[in-house]
Chains A and B, each alone.
Chain A
Amino acid sequence: MSDVRLVAQPALAEFVFSERFGNPAGPAGVTVVLRHDLRIASVIARRGCEAELAVRVERTFEVAPPPGPHRIRKGNLTILGIGPGRWMFLQEKGAPEFADVLARDLKGLASISDHSDGYAVFEVGGPLARQALAKGVAIDLHPKSFGVADAAVTSIAHIGAMLWQTDDAPRYAIAVFRSSAGSFWHGLRDSAAEFGLTVHPG
């Protein structure tokens, strides 16, 4: 048996070397926090179990999974509607067992898959966040159209993404496949360059 211990390496560790990018003048228009603390699991209702699943989720987490492309948050749990009968559950500062515990809690009602390692999550804020995101995001982020109660599965500069708004600052969270993190980051960095961009490793 090996005495080597495997050390976790967050997505993007290999891309972001600096804290400030683009226009160096003044305060940065866009700030990015790399969320390495999230545990992520998909929850797909078993056939005919959606109603029962909603009850079970509400009993367990004191919040029901939102129907449709919406987001709901309770404590450190965020639930995103990503398709009919499909949700992503995200736990902030989550434990590695998150998906396993979820599978136990929802056993028989839903299929659970762990995606904690499958996504890189960027939290994008700052006064010009929306202007920077408009260069890649093809959906309307105006408060009239999209808010903290919404979630979107979309494509950003040809990269599949889940997008939701975390607060009214506004700040947005964008989850892309881990393998695309570098590609996405380059696009985000270029889009925010004119506004100045700071990055916090999260």
Chain B
Amino acid sequence: MRTASGGLIDRNVPLNFRFDGRPYRGFAGDTLASALIANGVRLVGRSFKYHRPRGILTAGPEEPNALVELRNGARREPNTKATTVELYEGLEAASQNRWPSLSFDVLALNGLAAPFLHAGFYYKTFMWPASFWEKLYEPLIRRAAGLGRASGEPDPDRYEKAHAFCDVLIVGAGPAGLMAALAAARSDARVILCEQDFVLGGRLLAEHFEIGGKPGAIWARGLETELRSFPGVTIMPRTSVFAAYDGEYAALERVSDHLAMPPPFMPRQRLWKIVARHCVIATGAVERIIAFGGNDRPGIMTASAIRTYRNRFGAAPGKQAAIFTTTDDGWRSIADLRDAGVRVAAVVDPRSEVRKDLVSQAQSVGANVHFGSQVVQAHGAHGVKRITISSPGGAITTIDCDLLGVSGGWNPNIGLTTHLGAKPIWSDGISAFIPGELSRAMSVAGAARGKFSLRDALADGASVGLAVSEATGFARPLLDVPRVGDEDTNMWPFWRSTPTGKFAFVDLQNDVTAEDVQLAAQEGFQNTEHLKRYTTLGMATDQGKTGAVVAQALMAALTGTAMGTIGVPRARPPETPVAIGAFAGHHRGKSFRPYRLTAGHRWAEEQGAIFTEVGQWLRAQWFPRASERDWLETVSREAATVRSAVGICDVSTLGKIDIQGADAGAFLDRVYINVFSTLPVGKARYGVMLREDGFVMDDGTTSRLADDHYFMTTTTANAGRVMQHLEFCHQVLWPDLDVQMISATEQWSQYAIAGPRSRELLRGIVDGQFDISNAGFPFLAAVAVTICGGQPARLFRISFSGELAYELAVPARYGDALARALMEAGAPLGVAPYGTEALSVLRIEKGHAAGNELNGQTTAADLGLNRMMSTRKDYVGRVLAERPALADPDRPALTGFKPVDRKTRLRAGAHLFQQRAAISPENDSGHLTSVAFSPALETWIGLGLLKRGSSRVGEIIRAYDPVRGGDYLLEVCSPVFVDPKGERLHV
């Protein structure tokens, strides 16, 4: 119920919202959880495994229970914690994990089947028969378990990633974080203060604290104002730091989650990478639960959450309360409950006594005080109605209540401190794990390291802030720690009631009970990491923040181990859930990764090109014409045009490396298997380079432009790798060589002009003073020319197609214009653009190895290039290429194949066998690597790697392709199908 007054909500701004279709009203400043509580809604969901009714346990991101589906349609987000959802006008949320309705759920019968759903049940129960797993067990489990439903639609929202830098990053804006931020800010450091909540203050918003005579929330607001006055301070509310790396932190800013829909041009969420010289973790502490029967019933909350709802949100979660506490904090809830008009029926404390003033306050509101007592069972189908307590001597009492506040002590929120490996250590003083040894760039302040009282937290925040300022090289500023009263938490370790009762949960989100811990202990899963995995303890969205330590304590008791020895699993990022979309940022759809376009891209588009991705590049694959039935017809026409007339192909994507220096030739001799230092100026040569391990890395042509100037080309796919390799060779292996290299891929737009009429075409482009006759510009010539009336260009007579062919390069700004000029000049000759597919057909017909053959598993000898391997010099890969396995004559070698039945379609990937050999891996003698329909031969042809292939020409072998259902005979032939003597290159 909403209290008549109080809270930090704005009662002048009512907000309408719906939960499970029913209309409710809250106020600005509410969370969904506080608004539900204010509207008397107790039952908000069903549990994961047993479908038990669940309510709201906490008031923060540690919430295990109140998971809802937020929003509708494509924006529906399951498993959203109602305690962290900021209320907005028109909010719609639905309970999840229930059918047909929240109050009547068929699968709640799982609760009756609980004996079969114990820890590790899916390792055991559903083991046999194995065939049942996929068809029966898994679908059943998936339907029954799991939490909310994903929308199944594309996410309509935008996400961003951003980078921030600071001297001091402070995580958490509670009393310690605020003081640390103030210290750092006053020292002139660049400060980023991240707070997951939408208001700064932490527990100051939730308790009746006074600081310097002001209410805590007002003091926090004043401090925020001061912080904002520093130009070096950035305050980031609604931002969860969810991971710590080496000097870098990941944070999620919920930019628009407090709105029904992100405003135009705004992202929904922004993922920050924050680089900080120092980080102060001031993430506070989480109140923990106690294991007793039915401790999951709606209406059972942490005592601190009750105070939060009362003090911050003006909401009373019940009418008649009881408190079950092992801390003095629990007792402090009494005054807040009284102020909210809630009757306090009883205080149950397992301790034998507490401070007198606490007792008298309880008695003043008429509460019965039960020392040395324990709550053993909570009752009530859809919410707690009464509790059973056991008192010294075994007396059993029943108390009516619809609200039970539980205070089992506080766990410092130390998840972030463990991401870099620091192992939490057990503190007997506060009966909790505290941060272990931290890196020098990280400090922890306040409740996050067990400084629970307000006075301690403020003082600790200030002193950590000052120390960090000094450590990061800033002057130590003046800083007064505000005076406050001191109230110690006085916690006493108490984990489970005895008897524990039925359904005593230690992890409410994963439905792990005290019994499950016992079972894990019996079955030998005693190590804390085993306990976690066997029972699912501490997994999922809340990471077991409220209860996992209870389970660890139970395990310690069961195994007679000290808590410090049992330990706690190291948390890994993310500390709180992060939408996958935030990790993708802008990089989705077509922006998934950067793309690269050649200068002639638009021209190719205008020609109707279909594009294919080659690495990041988009390359024209083919250029269909309206009359053509399919790609094969298009590609065959393009290839035939090159063989019969002339075609042009954009080859700008090939890697180009400018290599200069007095030792450039010597350098190339060492990276290529063949010799380049003897290459005359004005000539190009085909080269092959190996990896250090002796396998082929890449191939291409390199031209010599001047004595000390070479121009290398690489394959498109390997351009970056080759550049890296050359830089490595120069910088690490041979720094003494005078050689300089830089990528020039982007500078040049380059086109292949191929076909018997290519010279005629070029004659219309290349300026008249340049002799491009066969004699004047022979095969493998490479010179600078001018074209189109004075435009500098480079002309190479090289051929991948096997036809008379050239490559012509111009500075990229002229790339578009050159493509158009070539088409115009070639129009009378029947020119056609051709794409990568026709390029591939032409090179297969010619037996040239390409990507499918240069696959990292082939040697130069495998590819028939062994004669290029110079014996007069050393080069990268030479020695290891002589290894016996690489020199084995039995190795599969590049071979050509034709189908015996000329109509058979070949497919790359088919395996090759001797005709009568059984189909088995040991008889496998190779595979087809590249296939094409050859317009020149009017049949499918293939290249492949076949054992001793070159000596088997004429043999009939069997191609077996179980994936595509192929089984046919092939004739082994030379890999050069067209113009085997290479005469066409020289005409």
A9 contacts the other chain (Cβ, under 8 Å)?
yes
B163, B266, B599, B709: the one contacting A137 at CB < 8 Å is B163
B164, B190, B816: the one contacting A144 at CB < 8 Å is B190
From known contacts A9-B816, A118-B744, infer whether A179 and B598 are also in contact, taking CB-CB under 8 Å. Answer: yes
Within 8 A of B (CB), among A135-192: 135, 137-140, 142, 144-145, 157-159, 177-180, 182-184, 186-187, 190-191
Find chain B residues with CB under 8 A from A45 CB: 740
Find chain B residues with CB under 8 A from A158 CB: 587, 593-594
A77 contacts the other chain (Cβ, under 8 Å)?
no
Asked whether, in the complex, the Cβ of A6 is within 8 Å of the Cβ of B586, the reply is no
Segment of B120-128, B525-533, B806-814, B894-902 engaged in the interface with chain A: B806-814
Find chain A residues with CB under 8 A from B616 CB: 180
From known contacts A8-B813, A9-B817, A47-B661, infer whether A23 and B165 are also in contact, taking CB-CB under 8 Å. Answer: no
Flag A61-80 by CB within 8 Å of B: 1 or 0 each: 00000000000000000000
From known contacts A6-B818, A117-B747, infer whether A142 and B190 are also in contact, taking CB-CB under 8 Å. Answer: yes
Residue of B nearest to A137 (CB): B163
Interface size class of B (residues with CB under 8 A): 35 or more
Asked whether, in the complex, the Cβ of A180 is within 8 Å of the Cβ of B190, the reply is no
Asked whether, in the complex, the Cβ of A193 is within 8 Å of the Cβ of B265, the reply is yes
Assembly CA distance A7 to B777 (angstroms):
27
Assembly CA distance A138 to B248 (angstroms):
11
B596, B740, B748, B749, most chain A CB atoms within 10 A = B740
Assembly CA distance A113 to B709 (angstroms):
10
Within 8 A of A (CB), among B157-191: 158, 160-165, 190
B742 contacts the other chain (Cβ, under 8 Å)?
yes
Flag B816-829 by CB within 8 Å of A: 1 or 0 each: 11101100110000
Asked whether, in the complex, the Cβ of B265 is within 8 Å of the Cβ of A23, the reply is yes
Asked whether, in the complex, the Cβ of B594 is within 8 Å of the Cβ of A14, the reply is no
Residue of B nearest to A146 (CB): B165
From known contacts A179-B597, A187-B586, infer whether A46 and B740 are also in contact, taking CB-CB under 8 Å. Answer: yes
A134 contacts the other chain (Cβ, under 8 Å)?
yes
B190, B663, B787, B813: the one contacting A2 at CB < 8 Å is B787
Nearest Cβ distance between residue A172 and chain B, in whole angstroms? 14
A47-B737, A145-B165, A187-B591 known, 16 other contacts, Cβ within 8 Å: A1-B768, A2-B787, A4-B817, A7-B817, A111-B740, A113-B747, A116-B811, A117-B811, A134-B164, A139-B163, A157-B587, A177-B596, A177-B745, A178-B599, A178-B812, A190-B591
Assembly CA distance A173 to B580 (angstroms):
32
Find chain A residues with CB under 8 A from B811 CB: 114, 116-117
B275 contacts the other chain (Cβ, under 8 Å)?
yes
Asked whether, in the complex, the Cβ of A180 is within 8 Å of the Cβ of B744, the reply is no
Find chain B residues with CB under 8 A from A10 CB: 813
Find chain B residues with CB under 8 A from A134 CB: 162-164
Asked whether, in the complex, the Cβ of B738 is within 8 Å of the Cβ of A46, the reply is yes
Within 8 A of B (CB), among A108-125: 110-111, 113-119
Find chain A residues with CB under 8 A from B265 CB: 22-23, 193-194
Assembly CA distance A157 to B271 (angstroms):
13
A42, A142, A145: the one contacting B742 at CB < 8 Å is A42
Find chain A residues with CB under 8 A from B745 CB: 118, 177
B595, B601, B817: the one contacting A6 at CB < 8 Å is B817
Nearest Cβ distance between residue B60 and chain A, in whole angstroms? 29
26 contacts across the A-B interface (CB closer than 8 A): A4-B824, A5-B789, A6-B818, A8-B813, A9-B813, A9-B814, A45-B740, A46-B662, A47-B737, A110-B740, A111-B661, A114-B747, A117-B746, A135-B160, A145-B165, A157-B594, A177-B596, A177-B745, A177-B746, A179-B596, A180-B596, A186-B591, A191-B586, A193-B265, A194-B265, A194-B266
Find chain B residues with CB under 8 A from A144 CB: 190
Asked whether, in the complex, the Cβ of B595 is within 8 Å of the Cβ of A183, the reply is yes
A contact residues, total (Cβ < 8 Å) = 55
From known contacts A1-B764, A194-B266, infer whether A138 and B163 are also in contact, taking CB-CB under 8 Å. Answer: yes
B633 contacts the other chain (Cβ, under 8 Å)?
no
Assembly CA distance A23 to B266 (angstroms):
9
Asked whether, in the complex, the Cβ of A1 is within 8 Å of the Cβ of B766, the reply is yes
A44 contacts the other chain (Cβ, under 8 Å)?
yes
Assembly CA distance A43 to B244 (angstroms):
41
Asked whether, in the complex, the Cβ of B812 is within 8 Å of the Cβ of A117, the reply is yes
Asked whether, in the complex, the Cβ of B788 is within 8 Å of the Cβ of A4, the reply is yes
Asked whether, in the complex, the Cβ of B740 is within 8 Å of the Cβ of A118, the reply is no
Find chain A residues with CB under 8 A from B660 CB: 44, 111, 113
Assembly CA distance A22 to B749 (angstroms):
33
A116, A138, A182: the one contacting B747 at CB < 8 Å is A116
Q: Is the interface of B mostly helix, strand, loop or mixed?
A: mixed
Assembly CA distance A135 to B617 (angstroms):
24
B273 contacts the other chain (Cβ, under 8 Å)?
yes
Residue of A nearest to B817 (CB): A6
Nearest Cβ distance between residue A51 and chain B, in whole angstroms? 15
Assembly CA distance A145 to B277 (angstroms):
13
B658 contacts the other chain (Cβ, under 8 Å)?
yes
Residue of A nearest to B789 (CB): A5
B586, B744, B767: the one contacting A115 at CB < 8 Å is B744
B560 contacts the other chain (Cβ, under 8 Å)?
no
Asked whether, in the complex, the Cβ of B813 is within 8 Å of the Cβ of A117, the reply is yes
From known contacts A42-B742, A115-B744, A179-B598, infer whether A157 and B812 are also in contact, taking CB-CB under 8 Å. Answer: no
Find chain B residues with CB under 8 A from A193 CB: 265
Asked whether, in the complex, the Cβ of A1 is within 8 Å of the Cβ of B789, the reply is yes
Flag B727-763 by CB within 8 Å of A: 1 or 0 each: 0000000001111111011111100000000000001
Nearest Cβ distance between residue A182 and chain B, in whole angstroms? 6
Flag A90-131 by CB within 8 Å of B: 1 or 0 each: 000000000000000000001101111111000000000000
Assembly CA distance A9 to B813 (angstroms):
5
Asked whether, in the complex, the Cβ of B825 is within 8 Å of the Cβ of A179, the reply is no
B264 contacts the other chain (Cβ, under 8 Å)?
yes
Nearest Cβ distance between residue B781 and chain A, in whole angstroms? 19
Nearest Cβ distance between residue A41 and chain B, in whole angstroms? 10
Flag B764-807 by CB within 8 Å of A: 1 or 0 each: 11111000000000000000000111010000000000000000
Pairs A-B, 8 closest by C-beta atoms: A118-B746, A111-B660, A179-B596, A47-B738, A111-B740, A140-B165, A117-B812, A44-B740
Nearest Cβ distance between residue B663 and chain A, in whole angstroms? 8
Nearest Cβ distance between residue A34 and chain B, in whole angstroms? 13
Residue of B nearest to A178 (CB): B746
B602 contacts the other chain (Cβ, under 8 Å)?
yes
Asked whether, in the complex, the Cβ of A2 is within 8 Å of the Cβ of B746, the reply is no
Nearest Cβ distance between residue B594 and chain A, in whole angstroms? 4
B266, B660, B749, B820, most chain A CB atoms within 10 A = B660
Assembly CA distance A201 to B595 (angstroms):
22
Asked whether, in the complex, the Cβ of A182 is within 8 Å of the Cβ of B595, the reply is yes
Find chain A residues with CB under 8 A from B595 CB: 180, 182-183
Find chain A residues with CB under 8 A from B662 CB: 46-47
B163, B587, B594, B812, most chain A CB atoms within 10 A = B594
Find chain A residues with CB under 8 A from B190 CB: 142, 144
Within 8 A of B (CB), among A1-37: 1-11, 14, 22-23
Residue of A nearest to B767 (CB): A1
Nearest Cβ distance between residue B322 and chain A, in whole angstroms? 50
Residue of A nearest to B275 (CB): A140
Nearest Cβ distance between residue A67 and chain B, in whole angstroms? 17
Asked whether, in the complex, the Cβ of A183 is within 8 Å of the Cβ of B744, the reply is no
Asked whether, in the complex, the Cβ of B597 is within 8 Å of the Cβ of A182, the reply is yes
Within 8 A of A (CB), among B67-103: none
B267, B596, B741, B763, most chain A CB atoms within 10 A = B596
Find chain B residues with CB under 8 A from A86 CB: 742
B158, B161, B586, B812, most chain A CB atoms within 10 A = B812
Nearest Cβ distance between residue B536 and chain A, in whole angstroms? 37
Residue of B nearest to A193 (CB): B265
Assembly CA distance A111 to B662 (angstroms):
10
Assembly CA distance A48 to B820 (angstroms):
46
Find chain B residues with CB under 8 A from A110 CB: 740
Residue of A nearest to B164 (CB): A134
Nearest Cβ distance between residue B203 and chain A, in whole angstroms? 32
